[in-house]
Structure 1
Amino acid sequence: MKKLLLGVALFIATISHAQKGSILLGGNVGFASEKIGDDKSTNFEFSPKVGYQFTDNWTAGVEGSIMNVKIAGLEKTERYRIGGFVRYALPLSETFAFYTDLGAGYQTNSINNVKGMYVNMTPALFINMKRGFGLNFSIGGVNYDNIDGKNDLRQERFGFDFGKTFSVGVSKNFQL
């Protein structure tokens, strides 16, 4: 009986900390630099998200991404993405939650003015640091994208990169 009451108390505490009716603001920032001999490349990416949590577990919103790649001796590349996402979150405790984002949208690349679409699914772990402010940890996901330009061949990519990439982001839920 004590175990049942403890389980019910933990369940109620988890539900009471859900952020239904809140605004989610989050994202990632990334930087990479590589030098091989005299060749040097730098990569910068900023990926913000804004969403509305309309139930205890579901959030929907808008995501974007700006990426700059500069390779010595070559033209600088800029990539932009804008799309939507839905998130399903499963609280594990007051501190931890597992979630999966499903995103899709439009993308463009400055080289040859190519355009296309993307779809990705990213599972992650949220750690609540204090009052809805937390860290998001991801180790990859599943993604598909395509780009097509006026004088370029169509490119399609499919990736399954669990354990291959590691990403840390921040997010904050604001109560309305």
Structure 2
Amino acid sequence: MKKLLAGIALLVTTIVSAQKNSILLGGNVGFSSEKIGESKLENFEFSPKVGYQFADKWTIGVEGSIMNTKITGLDKTEKYKIGGFVRYSVPLFNMFSFYADLGAGYQNTSLNNAKGMYASFDPGLFINMKNGFGLNFSIGGINYDNLDGKNDPRQERLGFDFGKTLNIGISKNFAL
């Protein structure tokens, strides 16, 4: 399953630098690992996006996410997200662009069937390879989550994970 998701992510991943009146298909693949004592936490995430670039530097669209979390000695959990995003992109040189995504939406996790909302701010770097194809790199951002399960108390998290995660992708811009 991981190989399939990684293959899909290599075909359609994070959105490219903005060009007015174009459609963007993309997403991200992310992996994080954390070890505390004998316990190990691993996250694998695939996050597709579809957007419309309504101005030279601005994109608006919908995003989703499927995340698998594995903790040593515990059951594997899955988390699903669906929401909207807005992106601001600034070309640095002919080959490079800086972008920042702001997203928010609904989430659901298989752990106690918890539901809630999320918000995120994720900056990244786009490297234009040729003809609108490029590589995207992100090393984390700022995230807010709240979840409310049937038998668990309400959970709220504010995360600052710069340098703790690595997201890499390939992207393509489709002009209208």
TM-score normalised to structure 1 length: 0.80
CA deviations over 1:36-61 (Å, ceiling 9, x no partner): 9x988764321111111111000001
Q: Which has the larger radius of gyration?
A: 1
Superposition deviation, residue 110 in structure 1: 0.7
CA deviations over 1:93-131 (Å, ceiling 9, x no partner): 221111100000110001111001110101111111111
- 1:93-172 pair list within 5 angstroms: 93-172=93-172
Cα gap change, 1:163 to 1:30, in 2 (>3 Å): closer
CA deviations over 1:3-29 (Å, ceiling 9, x no partner): xxxxxxxxxxxxxx9521111111122
CA distance in structure 1 between the partners assigned to 2:40 and 2:164 by the alignment: 23
CA distance in structure 2 between the partners assigned to 1:143 and 1:33 by the alignment: 17
Which amino acid in 2 is paired with 1:105? G
Partner SS for 1:23: strand
| Consecutive unaligned residues in structure 2, runs of 5 or more | 1-16
Which amino acid in 2 is paired with 1:118? Y
CA distance in structure 2 between the partners assigned to 1:35 and 1:88 by the alignment: 34
Matched residues, number: 160
TM-score normalised to structure 2 length: 0.80
| Consecutive unaligned residues in structure 1, runs of 5 or more | 1-16
Which amino acid in 1 is paired with 2:127? I
Structure with the larger RCO, 1 or 2 (CA within 8 Å, 6+ apart): 2
Cα gap change, 1:29 to 1:18, in 2 (>3 Å): closer
Superposition deviation, residue 78 in structure 1: 1.1
